[in-house]
Amino acid sequence: MLGMAKNTSQAPSTVQNSDFLKQLQLDQLTIELDLLSDPTQLTINLNQLKLPEPYNNLTNISISCPQLSFIHGAIHCLKGKIHFLGLSGTQQNTTNFSFLYDPQQDTLHFKLESMNIGAGELGFEIQLHKQTWQSKITLKHFSFALLKPYLKHYLLDKSNGNSELLDNTLANIDLELTSSGILGSKVNKNTAWLKSAHLQAKLTKLSYQFGDNMADNLALNIDLNVHQGAKKSHPFEPENHYQLALKLNKITGEILQNDSYIVPTGKEELSAVVQYDANNQLVKITHLTLQNKGIFTIKSKAHINLKKSTPLVTTETQITLSNLEKLTSLYLDNIFSDTQYEGLQLSGRFKGIIKKNNDNVELATEFIDFSAALNEQFSLVDLNGEIHWNNDDQKKHPVAASKLLWQELSLNHLPFSQVELNFAIHHDYLQLNKEVDIPLFDGALHINSLEISQMLGNLPDAYKQVTDKQVKNSPTSTGLTITIDGFIKPVSLALLSEHFGWPLLDGSLSAVIPSTTYNEKYLKVGGALMLQVFDGIIIIKDLEIVEPLQSYAQLFANIDLNNLNLQALTKTYNFGEIQGRVEGKLSGLELSAWAPVAVDAYIRTPANDDSSHKISQRAIDNLSSLGGASGLLSRSFLSFFETFRYDKIGLSCKLKNNICRMSGVERKGDSYYIVKGGGIPRIDVMGFQRQVNWQVLISRLKAIQSANEAVIE
């Protein structure tokens, strides 16, 4: 028996932290080699092996080789055993190993069988031959928690590294990793590198939390291949060209990412093939696919130059949504939950392709039997067509015309029948190519022209590319702007009122829509908006609305009422019948939060009006209540008459500071005529309150509408 011993308990010399081998310390090493036994036996004992951070020190190390053989200069160990403490806490580890070392062939083969680490197992095998190496690592039921100290040490900045994600991540790992490479030597200037690697892994019970983003009980399979792909002039020169192939599938669990809740079904698959040229820092994604067959497929490819400030050089992405109904139920319902899009329903198919070549971007989409509905505010039935777009603001690169055809469209309960839109889009500008009629009930909305500019105004800079410079440098850059010009072909007011549940209206509605501009937070009608209603004309001038989509919107306008039919008007609002015509003005109308705050308004009988002037009892009582009196007819013999003749009728209000200063068609002392009688029987309706609180006046109008009688305060 031959025995050797060495004590290395003295203090170590100062070394670099990165030099792992130089930091190892052996304490009380003994080596026993029994050459007299058959077969030869080798035993190595070590009291302690001190390792640098973050590794734990190993103690009570025992290595035995009961069958050590020397054949043709090679050393071969079979059925070896290793025993030690400390790799994972105070756990005792015992495992089998074998090795073969052949100095003549310059070969070493070492295999470590399953070793218990925590509740899992580790297997390791390596072969060295001349200047090449091959290895295999196997993990079974391995806890991710055991890897955290090493990941923190090697991946995080030790001065300010954020370990929140690592600290809040758990998983069980099963994997097999095989790899090969070149060893560092004088031939290759001591440069070692990886030639190929193949990883097959299964993660289960994966959970993580980073800020408000988290996942729970995730599981997935991973298949990863990495190998060098370029030819080399010398077998031991670094190739610096790699190809990566990745597959992820059988994904299940729950994910909350950026307030979106996602529950994978297990049928999603992600696959990618990536080439990397380390010399030129070029990345080529030749294949990237995310899909759930029969529901959606996203395919992409790209060229990336890491030397450029904008690395993405070219890219092409194809999106196919082949079953929007299932896509909605499986994914979008969860994503849109508790948002303004909750309840969105989609069906049909959608295809899209986006291409980028340096600064040029092109987009093409296709809708196939596409339908959508959101609560009762929006619905779209059977949309078909194509949209083509590019980001060329100078229109140097032609873009195909876009066309959309729908069967039905409903916006806020307003139904539009089948229509086809033809338009063109360049950069952030859309223009209608030809006039179009959009059917509405028995009429239509006719659009002469429609332009939308600066559509990219609210997009993040990353999506605008160089076009963003044009937007920022433009002196007229004020965000999304819509300009429309057209008119409304006569629409039956009876159909319109029935559809919206309004009081039944007679006649028809038609209107001229002059050049109207909507600019994000501002709407302005360039000319006069003319409505034909109640057998007369209403002209709205100087119309401006600030923040039109908000509850606190402000509206400014001047309105002319021309020759309106009082009989149609009063019948509609259940006011009591009044025959005749009226004209009027609403000057300086101002609404705040859609409630009037200022106006100088009047309504009166036109001069030389030769129509029949009659007024009913109920209308007289209602007008009396507005003027500050009621019950006049019930206190006189005139209550026996159903209708009365009048000469003229009128009422005015100057609203300011929530007070309405009221007047009528003529003054009489401190009072004023609301209705000046004429003929027999004759009755005058007088107003006695010059100043009325606006809310009181509104309450009187509401009482008239609901109860058909005056309520005097």
Residue-wise pLDDT tens digits, 652-683: 999 999 999 999 999 888 889 999 988 777 78
Please give the Cα distance from 531 to 541 (Å, whole number): 11
Q: Could you tell me which residues come within 8 angstroms of residue 24 by beta carbon, excluding any fewer than 6 positions away?
A: 49, 50, 51, 52
Quote the pLDDT of residue 679: 74
Please give the Cα distance from 536 to 553 (Å, whole number): 29
Please say if the pLDDT value at position 493 is more than 70: yes
Quote the pLDDT of residue 177: 95
Of the candidate ranges 150-164, 520-534, 552-566, 624-638, the one whose mean pLDDT is the lowest: 624-638
**pLDDT digit string, tens, across residues 546-560:** 988 778 889 999 999
Quote the pLDDT of residue 236: 54
- Is-contact 504 497, C-beta < 8 A? yes
Quote the pLDDT of residue 229: 67
Please give the Cα distance from 131 to 129 (Å, whole number): 6
Quote the pLDDT of residue 235: 57
- Work out the mean pLDDT of the chain and round it to a whole number: 84
- The four Cα atoms 9, 12, 16, 19 give a dihedral, to 10 degrees, of -30
Structure tokens that stand for 532 in this block: 């034909």
Please give the Cα distance from 332 to 339 (Å, whole number): 11
Quote the pLDDT of residue 629: 54
Quote the pLDDT of residue 641: 60
Please say if the pLDDT value at position 69 is more than 80: yes
If residue 128 lies in a helix (H) or strand (E), which one and from where to where?
strand 120-129
Structure tokens that stand for 397 in this block: 């690169």
Please give the Cα distance from 441 to 62 (Å, whole number): 92
Nearest to 589 by CA among 553, 627, 540: 540
Quote the pLDDT of residue 619: 84
Tell me how crowded residue 36 is: count the other CB atoms within 10 A of its CB: 8
Please give the Cα distance from 704 to 626 (Å, whole number): 9
Please give the Cα distance from 381 to 374 (Å, whole number): 12
Q: What percent of the chain has pLDDT over 70?
A: 86
Of the candidate ranges 362-371, 381-390, 458-467, the one whose mean pLDDT is the lowest: 458-467
Q: Which residue has the higher pLDDT, 535 or 587?
A: 587
Phi and psi (nearest 5°) for 144? -60, -25
Q: Which residue has the higher pLDDT, 590 or 627?
A: 590
CB neighbour burial string for 487-514, b if at least 16 within 10 angstroms, e if fewer:
ebbebbbebbbeeeeeeebbbbbbbebe
Mean pLDDT, range 555-580, rounded to an integer = 86
Quote the pLDDT of residue 628: 58
Is the peptide bond between 54 and the residue preceding it cis, with omega within 30 degrees of 0? Answer: yes
Please give the Cα distance from 517 to 523 (Å, whole number): 6
If residue 155 lies in a helix (H) or strand (E), which one and from where to where?
helix 148-155
The pairing of beta strand 25-34 with beta strand 2-6? antiparallel
Nearest to 133 by CA among 60, 193, 201, 93: 193
Q: Is 453 exposed, middle or buried (0-12, 13-18, 19+ CB in 10 A)?
A: buried
Mean pLDDT, range 217-239, rounded to an integer = 76
Bridge partners of 584, per DSSP, are 561, 603
Please say if the pLDDT value at position 471 is more than 70: no
Structure tokens that stand for 287 in this block: 């294949």
**pLDDT digit string, tens, across residues 281-330:** 999 999 999 999 999 999 999 999 998 888 889 999 999 999 999 999 99
Quote the pLDDT of residue 233: 53
**pLDDT digit string, tens, across residues 395-432:** 777 889 999 999 999 987 788 899 999 999 888 889 99
* SS3 of residue 309 by DSSP: coil
Quote the pLDDT of residue 633: 46
Radius of gyration (C-alpha) of the chain in whole angstroms = 42
AA identity, residue 534: F
> What confidence tier does 509 reach under pLDDT thresholds 50, 70, 90?
confident
Tell me how crowded residue 38 is: count the other CB atoms within 10 A of its CB: 8
- pTM to 2 decimal places: 0.74
- Is-contact 254 217, C-beta < 8 A? yes
Bridge partners of 107, per DSSP, are 102, 129
- Is-contact 591 582, C-beta < 8 A? no
Quote the pLDDT of residue 685: 87
- Is-contact 592 564, C-beta < 8 A? no
Counting every residue written for the chain, the total comes to 713
Please give the Cα distance from 210 to 169 (Å, whole number): 9
Helices within 422-486 (DSSP H only): 461-464, 467-473
Quote the pLDDT of residue 503: 65
Strands (E), 427-567: 429-432, 436-440, 443-453, 481-492, 508-519, 522-525, 529-533, 536-546, 554-565
Nearest to 583 by CA among 567, 561, 599: 561
**pLDDT digit string, tens, across residues 603-637:** 999 988 989 999 888 888 888 877 655 444 444 54
3-state helix, strand, coil in the chain (%, to 5): 10, 55, 30
Q: Which residue carries 């039919």 as its tokens? A: 565
Quote the pLDDT of residue 353: 97
Bridge partners of 30, per DSSP, are 5, 45
- Is-contact 437 444, C-beta < 8 A? yes
Mean pLDDT, range 162-169, rounded to an integer = 86
Please give the Cα distance from 603 to 692 (Å, whole number): 17
If residue 283 lies in a helix (H) or strand (E), which one and from where to where?
strand 282-292
Quote the pLDDT of residue 188: 67
Helices within 185-336 (DSSP H only): 324-327, 333-335
Mean pLDDT, range 377-388, rounded to an integer = 94
Q: Could you tell me which residues come within 8 angstroms of residue 648 by beta carbon, excluding any fewer than 6 positions away?
A: 604, 605, 613, 665, 675, 676, 678
Please give the Cα distance from 540 to 531 (Å, whole number): 8
Quote the pLDDT of residue 590: 94
* SS3 of residue 483 by DSSP: strand
Phi and psi (nearest 5°) for 139? -120, 135
Q: Which residue carries 């338009």 as its tokens? A: 423
Mean pLDDT, range 241-263, rounded to an integer = 91
Please say if the pLDDT value at position 478 is more than 80: no
The pairing of beta strand 529-533 with beta strand 522-525? unpaired
- Is-contact 397 359, C-beta < 8 A? no
Quote the pLDDT of residue 567: 86
Please say if the pLDDT value at position 464 is more than 70: no
Report CA-CA distances (Å) from 327 to 119, 270, 336, 385.
Answer: 40, 17, 12, 21
AA identity, residue 561: L
Structure tokens that stand for 576 in this block: 């009591």
Structure tokens that stand for 230 in this block: 């370029």
Quote the pLDDT of residue 560: 95
If residue 623 lies in a helix (H) or strand (E), which one and from where to where?
helix 617-627
Quote the pLDDT of residue 251: 95
Q: Which residue has the higher pLDDT, 466 or 232?
A: 232
Quote the pLDDT of residue 263: 92
One-character DSSP codes across 665-706: SEEETTEEEEEEE-SSSB--EEE--SEEEHHHHHHHHHHHHH
> What confidence tier does 2 reach under pLDDT thresholds 50, 70, 90?
very low
Mean pLDDT, range 490-503, rounded to an integer = 80
Please say if the pLDDT value at position 17 is more than 50: no
